Amino acid sequence: MAVRGTSVLTRIAQAIPVLFGVIVISFVLTRALPGDPAVQFAGIMATPETIEETRAKLGLDKPLPEQFVVYLGQLFQGDLGQSVSTGRPVLTELTSRLPASLELTLSALLLSCLVAVPLGVLAATRPGSWVDQICRLLVTMGVSLPTFFTGVMLIYIFYYLLGISPSPLGRLDFIYLDPPHVTGFFLIDAALVGDWETWFGAFKQLILPAVTLALFTLAPIARMTRAAMLSALSSDYIRTARAAGLGSGRILCGYAFRNALLPVVTTLGMVFSFVLGANVLVEKVFAWPGIGSYAVEALIVSDYAAVQGFVLAMAFLFVFLNLVIDLAYSLIDPRFGTSGK
C-alpha cells in the first residue's frame, strides 16, 4: 500500500514539469513570436501612443525572462488577462463556460464507451463474423468523418427532415429557464431540483452534439478494445481458464476483459486529445455556449488573450485528465506501478 502511495505521488510529481512546459509554450506563443503583441492587445483602433501605453502596461518593454516571471506570477493569481471583445477577465469567461463543454464532452465519451467497448468485445469474440465486419466498417468510417460535417448532416436529418430534435441553438431552448446553478451541468442541476421538464429539454439539446462527438471517438476505442481483447483471449491464462471449465461469461468479463482494459484506458488518453479539439468544431456547429465557441469567436476578432487563455486551459485540462487516467491504472491493474521503479 505504501509502495502504491509513493507511485501515485511520483506520477503527480511527473505532471509538474509537463505543466511548466505547457506554460512556457503558451508564453512563447504569446510573447516571443514575430509580430508585435502590443499591437494585438491594443486592438484594431490603436494609435502609436496607445500601443506604447499598452506595451508599458503589459510589461512588454522589459526583457523576456523578466516578462516570463511576471507572466508566471499572473498565472498563479489566476489572471489570464482581459478579453478585448467582451471586456471581462478571460478566467471568468472560461470558468462560466467550462461546465457546458465538460457536460458535452463527458456525455459524448460515456456514450461512445457504452457503444464501442461492447462492440469491440463482441467483434473480438467472433472474429470474421458480421459483428466484426460492422466493427471494422465503423472504425474505418469513424476516423474519416469530419466532426463538423457529421454534425451538419445530423442537423439536416433529425431537425429538418424528421423534425424530432430541437433547433441546434445552444444548451436549452429559450422556453425553459436555466436550472439553478449548482454544478453548471444542466442535466445534474435540473435533476437536483427535480425539474424534469427542463431536464428533458436540456437532454434533447444535448443528444445531437453528443452523438456527433461520440461517432468520432467510437473508432479508436472500438479498435483498441477489439485488438486488446483478441490478444487477451489468445493468451495462456485464458486457455487454462477454459481448460479448468470456467463459464464463458466468467472468462470473458473476469479474466479477458479485465486484462484488456489497460490498453483501452490508455487509448482514452489519446481520445481526450481528439475530443477536446473536436469539441471546438461541434460547439461551433451547434452554437453550444462552451469554451470552444468562445475561443472561435475570440479567434475571429483576433482577441489574443482569450485564445491564449483557452489554449492554456485546454492543455491543463488534458494534462489533468491524463493524470487521472494514469492514476486509474493502479486501480484497474494492481500490478501496475508496484514493480519497476
Min dist. Cβ of residue 153 to another protein (A) = 7
Q: What is the DSSP letter of 82?
A: B
Contact call for residues 109 and 275 (beta carbons, < 8 A): yes
In the block, residue with C-alpha cell 467483434: 123
Residues 6 or more apart in contact with residue 197 via CB below 8 angstroms: 176
Best CA proximity match to 205, nearest among 283, 116, 149? 283
- Residue nearer to another protein on the CB measure, 55 or 226: 226
Q: Are 17 and 319 in contact (CB under 8 A)?
A: no
* 243-272 footprint of another protein as x/- string (CB under 8 A): -----------------------------x
The CA distance from 214 to 195, in Å, is 27
- Residue 71 touches another protein, criterion: CB under 8 A: no
Count of beta carbons in the 10 Å neighbourhood of residue 280: 21
From 180-188, 220-228, 232-240, 259-267, give the range in contact with another protein by CB under 8 A. 220-228
Residue 38 binding another protein, by CB under 8 A: no
b/e code 288-302 from CB counts within 10 Å (16+ = b): bbbbbbbbebbeeee
| CB of 171 vs another protein, minimal distance in Å | 17
Q: Are the CB atoms for 327 and 11 separated by under 8 Å?
A: yes
In whole angstroms, give the CA distance from residue 89 to residue 303.
12
Q: Which of 223, 233, 251, 337 binds another protein (CB under 8 A)?
A: 223
**What is the smallest separation between the CB atom of 3 and another protein, expressed in angstroms?**
25
Q: Is 147 in the site for another protein (CB under 8 A)?
A: yes
Compute the least distance from the CB of residue 334 to another protein, in Å.
Answer: 27
Residue from the set 98, 152, 262, 328 that interacts with another protein by CB under 8 A: 152
Site residues (vs another protein, CB under 8 A): 17-19, 21-22, 24-26, 29-30, 33-35, 140-141, 143-149, 152-153, 155-156, 159-160, 167-168, 223, 226-227, 272-274, 276-278, 280-281, 284-285, 295-296, 299-300, 302, 304, 307-308, 310-311, 314-315, 318-319, 322
